[in-house]
Structure 1
Amino acid sequence: MRDLCWGPHPRRRIVEAISFDVPAGTTTVIVGANGAGKSTLLRSIYRQNRPLAGQVLAGGRDIWRMPACEVARLIAAVLQEPVADFAFTVREVVAMGRIPHRDSLFSRSNRDQEIVAQALADFELADFAGHPFSGLSGGEKQRVLLARAIVQQPQLIVLDEPTNHLDIRHQLEIIEVLRRLDMTVLVTLHDLNLAAALADQVLVMRDGRICAHGPPGEVLTPDTIRAAFDVAADIDRHPRSGRPRFSFNLLT
């Protein structure tokens, strides 16, 4: 991202002067309070909102100057918006991720079928492959959407609050899936404990700008958390991972 700006009007910008790199093969987590601009930023990265200024570069190329189908082979997205209850089976939903690689919408190759079958196995969905997507639990639906993104074979997967609306068990399941992904990940999270456990680098946003950026142990400090979230934070270290662990209090 290079000096990225977006807003509904040039004089009303929601994100402003955003610049950072997502190193290949790493996980970058974006955190910030509601309204900080996290989801708005991601929409310019997965080509929903065209930037007012600045660039989104993948391999040195501006994605907004590339054909949409080519971008879909580089970037996959899993969004936080409520998922429509598709009238499709689990296998059919996962197979949608192969569309950017097909010669036509309805063409299918043996290679496509092999990739879909492998994703169903990797995400422990093979037993559900013939089930209606609409009949799954929230955590199962998230796994299906992650599998759909993976079969796109992107260089970057973008996830907007993938644990939103999930109970603790399903949150942990999704985090374990993300840890196993052998690709570059950019994800927004509300939970700072999950962010610290998952991230190679953390971006902290406030009011549409980045206010801190770096490894979680260096960035997620009491002062930064106070500035970004208007809360007081106590921090210790997880006894096994050694990563930061947080508890919070309202400011008095």
Structure 2
Amino acid sequence: MSAISINKINKTYPGVTPVRALEDIDLTINPGEFVALLGPSGCGKSTLLNLIAGFEKATSGTLLVNNKPVQKPGPERGVVFQEAALFPWLNVWENVAFGPKVAGKSKSEYEDRAMEMLEITGLSAFLKHLPVQLSGGMRQRVGIARVLTLGSEVLLMDEPFGALDAQTRLSMQELLLSVWHKLRTTILFVTHDIDEAILLADTIYVMSARPGKIATKITVPIDRPRTIEDTTTEAFNSLKREILKQIRH
């Protein structure tokens, strides 16, 4: 059974001049797969992610997560945005525990899971820190730990490292690889950064300009585990050149 199955999805925004954002999208993601969605700005990457998250509805087509139609947002689909959107008055622990607590779970039900997610995201020493006391990268770690604590089966990430400086972005990419290797959560990662897509993903779907279509599906041929050093290899740069040509075209 596929984790995410998309068949002939179309999305048109109505108006005096309707905007056709997505056209005939077909996409399948297997359980535990790391998939990157790559393409030029305005091609509909975030729109597709929002449809999967349940924030928007498709104009037509079929969209299933774990073989169930997506009707609305749900805890089985965790979303990480470019901004961590933490509660500024809550400390790290309180932000991470907020979801299960609001869902009515007792502390004994979520405490171990929350502590494990804080540990694997490198936050164990920062439980009492407020968001204002953390760097941008650390705040994103809290956002990722918060979603993982919910036990989401699918992680949807919309350019989560796009607002970070280059050095912090690289460290967050390595962190995400480490977390994924440990948990094997299904991840759909939206990015416009070719290097990031190749480094992180098993499979890359390249989208065309609006109306967004799946132009190419690429299986990344670079062995795992991967590190930042892999971005300097000829295999990496050869694939990068190929993808760049497709996006320009």
Work out whether the TM-score is over 0.5.
yes
Aligned to 2:66: 59
Q: Deviations over 1:120-172 (max 9, x none)?
A: 11111111111112321110111110101111111110100011111122112
Give the percent of matched residue pairs that are identical in Structure 1 and Structure 2: 25
Q: Select the residue among 201, 217, 236 that pairs with 1:243.
A: 236
Q: Residues of 2 paired with 1:238 and 1:171: CA distance?
A: 14
Amino acid aligned to 1:28: V
Aligned to 1:215: 219
Q: Select the residue among 36, 46, 50 that pairs with 2:43.
A: 36
SS in 1 for 2:145: helix
Q: Deviations over 1:50-95 (max 9, x none)?
A: 111112211211021xx75xx31x2101012573662211111111
| Aligned partners of 1:217 and 1:244 also within 8 Å | no
Q: Residues of 2 paired with 1:179 and 1:200: CA distance?
A: 11
Q: Select the residue among 201, 204, 224 that pairs with 2:203.
A: 201
Shift of residue 217, structure 1, vs aligned partner: 5.4
Q: Which moved more, 1:1-10 or 1:120-129?
A: 1-10
Aligned to 2:20: 13
Listed as ranges, the matches of 1:91-106 within 5 Å are 91-99=93-101, 102=103, 104=104
Aligned residue-pair number: 223
Report the CA distance shift for 1:34/1:99 in structure 2 as closer, same or farther (over 3 A): farther
| Aligned partners of 2:158 and 2:191 also within 8 Å | yes
Report the CA distance shift for 1:172/1:242 in structure 2 as closer, same or farther (over 3 A): same
Q: Residues of 2 paired with 1:63 and 1:195: CA distance?
A: 26
Segments of 5+ residues of structure 2 without an aligned counterpart are: 1-5, 223-229
SS in 2 for 1:169: helix
Aligned to 1:3: 8
Aligned to 1:179: 177
Segments of 5+ residues of structure 1 without an aligned counterpart are: 219-236
TM-score, normalised with respect to structure 2? 0.80
Instruction: Tell whether 2:46 aligns with 1:48.
Output: no
